[in-house]
Chains A and B, each alone.
Chain A
Amino acid sequence: MKKKRINERIREKLDKMKDLQVRNLLYDAFWQEYLNRGAKTWQYKKKYEYLVDKHSADMEGS
């Protein structure tokens, strides 16, 4: 469901990426932007810091 909501064109480009660490981070960041579309304000700072923490530590993805 989560993936289906992301535009096919963007999904294709992300899926082709070889740098898995970056791909996973971009998927998550994109999904956050999608969820917060229409929200008057959203605290992107905390969310992005969390995502960077999570993915930079993810050695399996690298």
Chain B
Amino acid sequence: MFIEYIHLKNYRQYKEAKFNFGNKKKGKHIVIIEGGNGSGKTNLMNAVTWCIFSEERHIKKGKEGLPRVNLDMLHSAKTNSIVEVSVELCIRDEEKKPIYITRTQRFQKKSKGKPEIIPYVSEYGKLESRLTVQYQEEKDIVTDMNPSRFVEQLIPRKLSDYFFFDGEKLQDYFETESTDRIKEAVLNLSQSELLMLVVTHLRRTKKTLRDKHKVPTGELRQLRKRVENQEAQVDETREVIEKLRKDKKKAEVELEEISAKIALTNVESVKRLHKERQGVESFIEQLSTTRDDLEQDISELVMEWGPIAVLMEPIETARQFVAEAESGGQLPPPYKKNLLDSLLKNEECLCERKLKPGTSPYNSVKVKRDSCDSMTDDSEEISRLDAELRGVSDRFPREYKRLVQHKRRLKESKDSLEKQNEKLEELTTLLGEVDIEKVQVLEKARGEAKQLVDNMAEQIGLTRSRLQRYEDDLKEIQKQFKIALRKDEKFQQMADQLDILERSEKHAERILEEILGEIREEVCSETRDHFLSLVWKSSSFKDVNLSDDYEVSVSMGSSIYSNVVGSLSAGETQVLALSFMAALNTVAKAGVPIMIDTPLSRISKEPRALIAEKLPSYLKGNQLILLMTDTEYTDNVRDLMSKAVGTELRIDYREISEDESESWVVDYA
């Protein structure tokens, strides 16, 4: 999907301007719009978000109160006459068919004061602005009857921050309170949110279906009640976990705020110790995750392979016995009854010898035929079991090796964890001993906030394992209910329907889990690759990580920084944010155009060239519209990006008064 043009009429400083990006050419996915400060770049982005979402998200401070209508047009209009503002976007969909999205608004000039908005009257009431969507169907252009919904399906409103954004505010991605928003965006971009709704609605439909049918018998009614109670318990526990998670997030934000205050104290030693402590804490967090994962794996391995380890000797003896029986010809070949039947019927053996009824050869084949069912079954069963035992016996040494390795790694993690905990305690003691009242107060508050976060993490863990138990019980009761339903003719259809609902729910949950895991992994590795290739001090950066909650952390030397904004320079944060945004969009495979205002503004001269060189490889599947100042889009940057730039435009402007200017678009050359 790409924007072919943006057409503005009487919108803010644009009397009339058409930004024509032309057709997307292969490998040329970048559009550059260059303009000086105050030329109208940000208002071009505002025009796009206003057209799509009826919101101007990026109005500059001090300009909020100005009307949307072009002031010059308004001044030259007669009193009481109407001036119409419009923004039209022409978007080409995946099949390159055009979609025209237009928003208009009417202003009436008054003899004094601000112009008045003249609403449009529609069947839904009065509307401040009107949205129209037209698209191609076969050869005709048709008007959509529900344009807001059409647009919402095309580019969801919640996601606008990830397609149209201000480069200078990219660091917002890394604040703790943003992580939920990011997670939500990932769910939206990948449409996993819709899959979650499918799961929820399938669950509710099961209940509707059970309630719809009258269940008269005692056992069924009791089982249904048990299913309902267990479902309610599972739902309730899920809600508790969600609430705890939100509370933990709040406590983490508070902890982060206190930490930021400690980092801002003027005492150099406090700053240094605090920074070191943050690194140690992040490391402890990672080590704890590794320890928990290993413990989980070890317990699963022991559960699965422990009984087999005890039985390994008899297994080997049994296999030896089978092998000997086979080589000694004691295991009968798998005779087939049909073959023997046909021999007796044709009265001829495979060796062409005649088999006359009553003769000894005939009787011998007949005996084999009569006993061949059990002989064949036994023989097949023995070879099936032998194959199974062989599989177990082959896998056992590998699994045992894995168990030994896991145990070794677990010991290392535990040792390392112990050392880091000692270090943490030492650093906290040192900070607590600083004889400055403000630091002491902050340290105390930090200790309490940290305790709260840790307690909540523990509670979440405990509640999760309780939920697992409840879910297992629910599955068992559901199974019993279905078996009981099947016993009664009347409930066959209901049992079939419950069956398909349960299977669908299970599959949808599995797909969702797989997708979320894959996406997180890919976002992490894409962010890491982009960041390490773009950042100029790449040797000092070792790694980039992403937690389950989409919190980004960066490793430098032996330290890990989860507080990205406080630990990296403004330029480095900008690069990390660009990398993260690119990763989110690439991984989600949303294919929506992306518009960034001043992407390189915080990056100084030399790193800027490196970024410009690498930027074309960004987001190859998306149209990338970059609004850049002349100081960003230098000759050098232009040369370096040229291979991926399909269109270059420039915004020219003149200032009329303090509040008024006029902008128009020209070809870059």
Q: How many Å from the CB of B400 to the closest CB on chain A? A: 33
Closest to A45 in B: B208
Does B658 sit within 8 A of A, measured CB to CB?
no
A52-B501, A56-B497 given; A34·B514 CB < 8 A:
no
Residue of B156, B496, B504, B589 near A9 (CB, 8 A) is: B589
Give Cα distance in the complex from A6 to B514, angstroms: 17
Chain A residue numbers with a CB within 8 Å of B95 are: 1, 4
Chain A residue numbers with a CB within 8 Å of B511 are: 10, 13-14
Are B194 and A39 closer than 8 Å at their CB atoms? no
Interface flags, A18-52, vs B, CB<8A=1, else 0:
01011001100110011101110000110011001
Chain B residue numbers with a CB within 8 Å of A21 are: 500, 503
Give chain B's interface secondary structure class. Answer: helix
Are A56 and B500 closer than 8 Å at their CB atoms? yes
Are B153 and A4 closer than 8 Å at their CB atoms? no
Chain A residue numbers with a CB within 8 Å of B340 are: none
Interface flags, B473-495, vs A, CB<8A=1, else 0:
00000000000000000000100
Give Cα distance in the complex from A62 to B514, angstroms: 24
A13-B515, A30-B198, A38-B156 given; A49·B205 CB < 8 A:
yes
Give Cα distance in the complex from A42 to B147, angstroms: 17
Are A8 and B500 closer than 8 Å at their CB atoms? no
A22-B500, A48-B205 given; A37·B152 CB < 8 A:
yes
Interface flags, B193-207, vs A, CB<8A=1, else 0:
011011001101100
Residue of B499, B504, B589, B590 near A29 (CB, 8 A) is: B504
Closest to B493 in A: A56
Closest to A55 in B: B500
Give chain A's interface secondary structure class. Answer: helix
Chain A residue numbers with a CB within 8 Å of B508 are: 26
Residue of B500, B514, B590 near A25 (CB, 8 A) is: B500
Are A33 and B589 closer than 8 Å at their CB atoms? no
Give Cα distance in the complex from A52 to B496, angstroms: 9
Are B194 and A30 closer than 8 Å at their CB atoms? yes
Are A26 and B497 closer than 8 Å at their CB atoms? no
Chain B residue numbers with a CB within 8 Å of A4 are: 94-95
Chain B residue numbers with a CB within 8 Å of A53 are: 497
Interface residues on A, range: 20 to 34
Are A34 and B194 closer than 8 Å at their CB atoms? yes
A13-B511, A13-B514 given; A26·B198 CB < 8 A:
yes
Give Cα distance in the complex from A38 to B156, angstroms: 8
Does B209 sit within 8 A of A, measured CB to CB?
yes
Are B198 and A33 closer than 8 Å at their CB atoms? yes
Does B191 sit within 8 A of A, measured CB to CB?
yes
Are A9 and B518 closer than 8 Å at their CB atoms? yes
Give Cα distance in the complex from A49 to B192, angstroms: 22
Chain A residue numbers with a CB within 8 Å of B654 are: none
Chain B residue numbers with a CB within 8 Å of A5 are: 153
Does B149 sit within 8 A of A, measured CB to CB?
yes
Give Cα distance in the complex from A34 to B94, angstroms: 17
Give Cα distance in the complex from A1 to B81, angstroms: 45
Chain A residue numbers with a CB within 8 Å of B493 are: 56
Are B503 and A19 closer than 8 Å at their CB atoms? yes
Most buried by B among A1, A19, A37: A37
Does B642 sit within 8 A of A, measured CB to CB?
no
Are B507 and A9 closer than 8 Å at their CB atoms? no
Closest to B591 in A: A8
Give Cα distance in the complex from A38 to B518, angstroms: 27
Q: How many Å from the CB of B123 to the closest CB on chain A? A: 16
Are A52 and B209 closer than 8 Å at their CB atoms? yes
Q: How many Å from the CB of B144 to the closest CB on chain A? A: 13
Interface flags, B506-549, vs A, CB<8A=1, else 0:
01100100110011000000000000000000000000000000
Given contacts A10-B195, A44-B204, A52-B501, 6 further A-B contacts (CB under 8 A): A4-B94, A21-B503, A30-B198, A33-B194, A52-B497, A56-B499
Top 5 closest pairs, chain A to chain B, by CB: A38-B152, A7-B191, A33-B194, A48-B205, A13-B511
